[in-house]
Structure 1
C-alpha cells in the first residue's frame, strides 16, 4: 500500500480526492494539508511515496515545493492537480520535478488514471495539459523570461506581496532584514518591469503563484 500526501488549499477538493478518488485498498493518505509550507514540511518528515499537489497554495507555492522535493526527497512521485495552466507554467513545473499534471476541469476518471500511472513511476498529462505541453515544446522561448528570471527568494517575496503582506511582514516571515526585503522587492520589480502592488498581484495570479481566493 502506497503512502500518499494531498496538498490542496480548497478543503472540499482535498476531501473529495481523499474520500472519493483515492482507492483505500491501494493508498494510505498520511498527509492532508491546505498550506504549502506545512504540507511541504510534513512530506519532508514523513516521506510519502506519492503526492497530489496543487500549484497555487498559501505560504509556499507548488513550484517551490517541487524544487524542495527534488533536492530532499527525489524518490517521491508528484502529480500536479491544478485549475491553472499555461505553456510556461507546465514547462516550469516539469523542470521543477513534476511527474504528471491533471487539470481540475478534467473528469475524475482522468485524475484516477493520473494517480495510478504517476504513483507507479510513470508520467501522465490530462488532455488540456498535453496540448499546452506541445505548445511549450514548440515555442522554447515561452519560459525563457518572466517568472523564470526571478531568484527563489524573489519568487517567495512576489508571492507574499501578492498575498498582501507588508515589507516588514515579509522580512519577519523570511527572517531577513527590512532593507534586504526592500532590495529584493526592488530587484523583482525591475526584472519584471512592474512597479506597483496591483501589477505584481496580477502577475502572480497569471503565473500560478496565488489564486484570486488566497
Structure 2
C-alpha cells in the first residue's frame, strides 16, 4: 500500500510543527539580555521580538507587541517586577509573565504571583531551566524555580496575603518608594508617574509614616532590603 505524504501546511491542528512563541525580555543588564536571547533562540520557532531596559519601556513594548511570554527581571528600574506584572496583565492578558531574578525569596514569589505572574525562575538556573519555563508558560501552565515546589505554589495562590513591610504599602506608594530610592527627585518621580510633585510628596510621606521611617536614607535601606532596588 502506498502511503500518501501529507504536506505540513495541511496537517490537522495539534499535529503541525512546533507553535511559534513571541517573547519580550526586560532586564537592565545587557549581558543578561544577550545570554537569555542566546538560550531562547536555540528554538527555531521562538522569536525574541524586543528587549527593554526598564519597567516603563517594557510596558510600552508589551502593549505594542502583545507577546506570548514576557521575561521580566524583578529589580527593574522605574517599575519593579510585581508592579510591571500587574500592569502587563491589565493591558495584555494573553501575555504570560516569567519573573527572572537573582533573589530566591518566598516574599518576592508571593508578591509576583499575587500580581499575576505565571512563572518565577532564579537566574542561576537559567542555562538548565529557562527553556523549560518558557515552554510551560507558552502552554498557559505555571512554572516556579525548583526549590519552591508546586504544593507551596498552590498554597500561596490560595491563601490571603500575610501582613508585612511589602504588603502594608499601596502599589502607588511602592512605585514612589522605588523611584525615590533610585535617586529621583519629586519632580522626576512626578514625570515618570504622570502625577504632580505635591502628590508624590503625599505618597512618600504616607509610605514613610506606615514604615516608621524618618529619613530618605532609611527609605533607601528599606527599598534595598525588600528588593525594590539593587544596592
What TM-score, normalized to structure 2?
A: 0.82
Residue 63 (structure 1) aligned with residue 72 (structure 2): no
| Partner of residue 112, structure 1 | 131
Give distance in 2, aligned partners of 1:113 and 1:70: 22
| Partner of residue 163, structure 1 | 182
Indicate the structure whose relative CO is greater, using CA pairs within 8 Å and at least 6 residues apart.
Answer: 1
| Partner of residue 77, structure 1 | 96
State the 1:5 CA deviation: 0.4
Q: Which moved more, 1:145-154 or 1:41-50?
A: 145-154
SS in 2 for 1:208: coil
Q: What is the root-mean-square deviation in Å for CA atoms of aligned residues?
A: 2.1
Residue 28 (structure 1) aligned with residue 28 (structure 2): no
Q: Does the 8 A contact of 1:92 with 1:143 survive in 2?
A: no
| Partner of residue 203, structure 2 | 184
Structure showing greater radius of gyration is 2
State the 1:185 CA deviation: 0.9
Distance change (3 Å), C-alpha of 1:141 and 1:177 = same
Q: Among residues 3, 7, 11, which one is paired with 2:30 in the alignment?
A: 11
| Partner of residue 173, structure 1 | 192
State the 1:172 CA deviation: 3.4
The structure with the greater share of residues assigned to helix is 1
Q: Among residues 119, 122, 126, which one is paired with 1:100 in the alignment?
A: 119
Gaps of 5+ in 2: 1-19
Q: Does the 8 A contact of 2:55 with 2:76 survive in 1?
A: yes
State the 1:104 CA deviation: 1.0
Gaps of 5+ in 1: none
Distance change (3 Å), C-alpha of 1:211 and 1:117 = same
Give distance in 2, aligned partners of 1:180 and 1:74: 30
Runs of 4+ in structure 1 deviating by more than 6 angstroms, as ranges, are: none
Give distance in 2, aligned partners of 1:122 and 1:174: 33
Q: Does the 8 A contact of 2:40 with 2:46 survive in 1?
A: no
State the 1:142 CA deviation: 7.1
| Partner of residue 127, structure 1 | 146
SS in 2 for 1:121: coil
Give distance in 1, aligned partners of 2:37 and 2:91: 25
Q: Among residues 42, 52, 62, which one is paired with 2:61 in the alignment?
A: 42
Q: Does the 8 A contact of 1:117 with 1:123 survive in 2?
A: yes
Q: Does the 8 A contact of 1:103 with 1:128 survive in 2?
A: no
